[in-house]
Structure 1
Amino acid sequence: MPGSALDLLSGDAQTFVTKVWASRVHLHRTDPERLVALLSLDDVDTLLTSSAIRTPSVRVAQDGAVLPESSYTRGATLAGKPLTGLVDSRKALALFEGGATIVLQGLHRYWLPITRLVAELELELGHPCQANAYLTPPGAQGFAVHSDSHDVFVFQTAGSKQWEVHCPDGADEVLLEPGVSMYLPTGTPHAARAQDTVSLHVTLGINQLTWRGLVERSVADALAGVTDEHLPAGYLDDPRGLADELAERLESLAADIRGVDAGAAVTAEVRRFLTTRSPRLSGGLHDVLAVPALDDDTLLRRRPGHPCVLIPRDERIEVLLGDRAVDVPAWLGPALEDLRARRELAPRDLADHLDPQSRLVLCRRLVREGLLEVAT
């Protein structure tokens, strides 16, 4: 996908970060084929009718109410063990034909094009992201006016949908069609109705990390140092004594907080984020099979949406890869910095830093860890 995920959804990424985040509604137009390729009607048909998709990956809503799972699921057995929550395609399609909206939840966990888009968006924004898709029959509306507890991007991949977006100065009507994406900040009331044809749209939720959360995590050790002993008996009759003791503890806590290393706290925050993303290893089977034959001329590619952040630690370097961290000797630093700057490379491209055996060992490990994939 050419360009960044943020460019695809909102235009110039820097403009979005500096201006759009503080606005109410932002529309962006792009090549419809680029958005449709992320999730088409045929893709949804496959998921609903030709896969073993289960709840809670699917829910169904109609006229503002979420329908019970029993109305569109069935049970089965696999190797003699029960399976529950399997979507019954006949029931689901019958509900859809009757005006219900089918919601594909957590789409980033099982649909590769959306997985890649969300992975790239998370790295650009530094916030966890998620994706749902909404399949709505002609003229129907799945949910009444509501607001979300997170920012969202919305883009249409089939049909059209009329959005009612409530802003501080009134309500706007926005028609979304393939090629148009919309950004809605947290708490923006909205509702949407399909027009004359079936509608399919995707919402990308941005689960913002906040200053409060960062501060709380940064001072957690200081707070943990406050004693958990009981308040002294008799403080109801003599609250001044309790106030004096509280003042002493607050002053001690303040001193501990003043001693917090902000740089170290931010490094810890980066590490926390870049070691807790979901594993994203599409093509990993082929990579594992190709590792034994990997040689100095094998073309390798940085896997999309995977970070490579280096944190020096004494004589070692911690490499943050998104879902994990790996520990390597510090002398690999120059080679890793060179690798970080490239989208594609062969092991021989690291000849300025490593001997043939060392660069093969490094590249094979990074293929196994998922940072690199074998280009085909």
Structure 2
Amino acid sequence: MPGSALDLLSGDAQTFVEKVWASRVHLHHADPDELVDLLSLDDADTLLTSSAIRTPSIRLAKDGTVLPESSYTRGATLAGKPLTGLVDSRKALALFAGGATIVFQGLHRYWPPITRLVAELELELGHPCQANAYLTPPGAQGFAVHSDSHDVFVFQTAGSKQWEVHDSDGIQDVKLEPGASMYLPTGTPHAARAQEVVSLHVTVGINQLTWRGLVQRSLADLADGVPDAHLPAGYLNDPGKLAGGLADRLEAVAAQIRDLDAAAAVEAEVRRFLTDRSPRLAGGLHDVLAADTIDDHTRLRRRPGHPCVLLARGDRIDVLLGDRSLDVPGWLRPALEEVRAHPELSPGDLAEQLDPQSRLVLCRRLVREGLLEVAP
């Protein structure tokens, strides 16, 4: 995918972050092929009819009503154990022909192009993201006017949809076609209807991390440190019995807040975010099989959407990889900085930082851990 994920969806990423983020509706037009390649109509057909997809990865809605799962699912057995929630493609297609919208939920968890898009977008924004897709028959509408509790990017990959968007300027009618994307801030009321042909669009939800949440997480240990002793009996008739004790405890917490290391709290926030993402290891089987054959000339590249953040910890370094961290000796920092600085390199490019054996050991481990992949 050329350029950055944010550039693809919003145009100039820096301008978007500075002037548009969480402020107003924003429209952008990209190369249609770049967006269509993320999820085509054929891709949606494959997911629906040939992938054994199960609920809750799919749901159906029609005219503002979510249809019961029993109307489009079936049971089965696998190795003698029952499976429930399997989508019956025949039933789902019949409901679709009758005007129902098919929603692919959590698409970032099982469709690789969207997985990569979301992973890269998360790193650019620093906020957790998710993705759904909506397949709507001609002239139909799946959901009534509603608003979301998170920011949304919408992009069209097949057909067209007419959007009714409510913002500070009133109601806007926006028609999205392949190549078009739209940003909706949190709480923007909207609804959409397919036009003369089938419509397929993807929404990327941005679950924004907030200052309030950061402050709460930074203070959580301080609050937990307050002794969990019982309140004194009789305070209902004499509230003054609580006032002095509460004042003392609040003053103690306030003193701790004044001494709080903001840089350490931020480091903890970065560590939390970059160690709890879902593993994204497409092609990992081939990399594991090839790891032992890597030599000084093997071309390696950074896996898209994978961070490599280095946090010092005494004479050790924590390498944050997204879904976990690696604990490595501090003397590896120059080599790791070199890895961070280049999207593609060979072990031999680390000759100034490491001896032949050490650089092969490091690169092979980074391949096994999923930070690097063997370039085709």
Taking structure 1 as the reference length, the TM-score comes to 0.99
**2:252 partner SS:** helix
Which residue matches 1:208?
208
Aligned-residue offset at 1:109: 0.3
Q: Which amino acid aligns with 2:253?
A: L
Aligned-residue offset at 1:354: 0.2
Offset from partner CA, 1:278-307 (integer Å, 9 cap, x none): 000000000011011111100001000000
**1:219 partner SS:** helix
Q: Which amino acid aligns with 1:32?
A: P
Aligned-residue offset at 1:242: 1.5
Is 1:90 the counterpart of 2:106? The answer is no
**1:56 partner SS:** coil
**2:203 partner SS:** strand
Is 1:250 the counterpart of 2:250? The answer is yes
- Distance (Å, rounded) in 2 between the aligned partners of 1:75 and 1:125: 40
Once the two structures are overlaid, the 10-residue window that deviates more, 164-173 or 127-136, is: 164-173
- Distance (Å, rounded) in 2 between the aligned partners of 1:227 and 1:168: 48
Q: Which amino acid aligns with 1:330?
A: G
Which residue matches 2:142?
142
> Counterparts of 1:115-264 in structure 2 under 5 Å?
115-264=115-264
Overall identity of the aligned pairs, in %: 81
Q: Which amino acid aligns with 1:86?
A: L
Is 1:323 the counterpart of 2:323? The answer is yes
Once the two structures are overlaid, the 10-residue window that deviates more, 237-246 or 268-277, is: 237-246
- Distance (Å, rounded) in 1 between the aligned partners of 2:49 and 2:170: 42
**2:175 partner SS:** strand
Q: Which amino acid aligns with 1:313?
A: R
- Distance (Å, rounded) in 2 between the aligned partners of 1:285 and 1:228: 50
Which residue matches 1:284?
284
Is 1:307 the counterpart of 2:307? The answer is yes
Q: Which amino acid aligns with 1:267?
A: E
Is 1:359 the counterpart of 2:359? The answer is yes
Q: Which amino acid aligns with 2:7?
A: D
- Distance (Å, rounded) in 2 between the aligned partners of 1:166 and 1:362: 53
Aligned-residue offset at 1:244: 1.6
Aligned-residue offset at 1:257: 1.2
Aligned-residue offset at 1:135: 0.1
The total of aligned residue pairs comes to 376
Offset from partner CA, 1:224-267 (integer Å, 9 cap, x none): 11121111112223222321221111111111111111000000
Which residue matches 1:104?
104
Which residue matches 1:29?
29
Aligned-residue offset at 1:22: 3.8
Q: Which runs of 5+ in 2 are unaligned?
A: none
**1:208 partner SS:** coil
Contact between 2:159 and 2:178, CA under 8 Å: does it hold in 1? Answer: yes
- Distance (Å, rounded) in 2 between the aligned partners of 1:207 and 1:132: 13
Q: Which amino acid aligns with 1:343?
A: P
Q: Which amino acid aligns with 2:59?
A: R
Contact between 2:22 and 2:186, CA under 8 Å: does it hold in 1? Answer: no
Contact between 2:25 and 2:183, CA under 8 Å: does it hold in 1? Answer: yes
Aligned-residue offset at 1:367: 0.1
Contact between 2:232 and 2:241, CA under 8 Å: does it hold in 1? Answer: no
**2:130 partner SS:** strand
Q: Which amino acid aligns with 1:340?
A: R
Once the two structures are overlaid, the 10-residue window that deviates more, 245-254 or 316-325, is: 245-254
Contact between 2:22 and 2:151, CA under 8 Å: does it hold in 1? Answer: no
**2:362 partner SS:** helix
- Distance (Å, rounded) in 2 between the aligned partners of 1:106 and 1:28: 24
- Distance (Å, rounded) in 1 between the aligned partners of 2:22 and 2:41: 33
Q: Which amino acid aligns with 1:286?
A: H
**1:280 partner SS:** coil
- Distance (Å, rounded) in 1 between the aligned partners of 2:115 and 2:13: 20
Which residue matches 2:20?
20
**1:34 partner SS:** helix
**2:143 partner SS:** coil
Q: Displaced runs of 4+ in structure 1, greater than 4 A?
A: none
Offset from partner CA, 1:12-50 (integer Å, 9 cap, x none): 111011101142210000100000000000000001111
Once the two structures are overlaid, the 10-residue window that deviates more, 314-323 or 234-243, is: 234-243
**1:19 partner SS:** helix
Which residue matches 1:271?
271
Aligned-residue offset at 1:350: 0.1
Is 1:371 the counterpart of 2:371? The answer is yes
Once the two structures are overlaid, the 10-residue window that deviates more, 227-236 or 84-93, is: 227-236
- Distance (Å, rounded) in 2 between the aligned partners of 1:132 and 1:186: 16
**2:21 partner SS:** helix
- Distance (Å, rounded) in 2 between the aligned partners of 1:219 and 1:193: 46
Q: What is the RMSD computed on CA atoms of the aligned residues?
A: 0.7
**2:255 partner SS:** helix
